[in-house]
Amino acid sequence: MKKVLLFVKDSQSAIETSRKIHERLRLMGVHTEVYINSRKRKQKKILKDKDLLLVIGGDGTFLAGARLVAKYQIPILGINEGRFGFLTEVEKEYAFEVLEMVLKGQIRYQKRVMISAYLKRDKTLRFLGDYLNDVVVSKSNLARMLELDVYAMGEFMMRVYGDGVIVSTPTGSTAYALSAGGPILYPLSENLLFVPICPHTLSNRPVILPSHFEIKVVNFSLDGMAYLTMDGQEGMALKKHDQIIIKRSKHFCLMYPNPKRSFFEILKEKLKWG
């Protein structure tokens, strides 16, 4: 690898870690650039000819990086400077060791399923983006039930009266979907997960679907009652009769795992399993 982009959380600790890694890579003869992931800063053309995106931050920074490089298929390594570290798997004390293994080709990246989201409003279909975790339709500020119809591959699946619905990737199954009562999917599996949020009809249960299925959510709630959120970072208010279409993206997130910890070890650590 010749060119590495450091994609850094806008925090003092993460920026300090990035300086140390930047200097180490410079001494190794690797060309590096540093980009601070700040909402106030406009993105520029930073991905040209990059061989690796090194995310230094938390899972939120990783999700932002994954969206940034999805269509360019640049692999990602995450160094944890956040709270949870489900995606930024490498703790910073092991950063140099694991990074050197990646640069030497001693670790193979994983291919994680991503989902594409579309908004159909009236007769206009709009592509919203590719996402690694989930697409969520949930309540806005008003504490009233939403009314949503859900279709899978064009077939009516259920009507949900409740707080909303989640469509998640296997990677995203340990995020909001888990809190809403969904199962944990192994991150390398190729499925989509549908989870109702606090459904009034208690028989509405989570459903695991094949990854090639297209899921459509039709909003029958009044304008402004429902809100669409993607990866917990992008979103918009929905109007009555809006349709949200979710399907497997043609792109994968190419993610280097931590060779020192398996997925089950991460679960035991993060979820406090005995």
Instruction: Give the tokens for residue 27.
Output: 């001494």
Nearest CA to 131 out of 210, 248, 218, 47 is that of 248
Strand partners, 42: none
Give the three-state DSSP class for 31: strand
Q: What is the DSSP letter of 43?
A: P
CA distance 255 to 77: 6
CA distance 91 to 144: 42
How many beta carbons lie within 10 A of that of residue 227, not counting itself?
17
Instruction: Give the tokens for residue 270.
Output: 């993060």
Strand partners, 247: 116
CA distance 207 to 209: 6
User: Are 137 and 244 contacting, i.e. CB atoms less than 8 angstroms apart?
Assistant: yes
User: Are 141 and 115 contacting, i.e. CB atoms less than 8 angstroms apart?
Assistant: no
Is residue 163 part of the annotated active site? The answer reads no
User: Are 151 and 244 contacting, i.e. CB atoms less than 8 angstroms apart?
Assistant: no
Nearest CA to 115 out of 57, 184, 173 is that of 173
Of the residues 49, 59, 130, 134, which is catalytic?
A: 59
What's the length of the chain? Answer: 274
Give the three-state DSSP class for 140: coil
At 171, the amino acid letter reads T
Active-site annotation, residues: 59
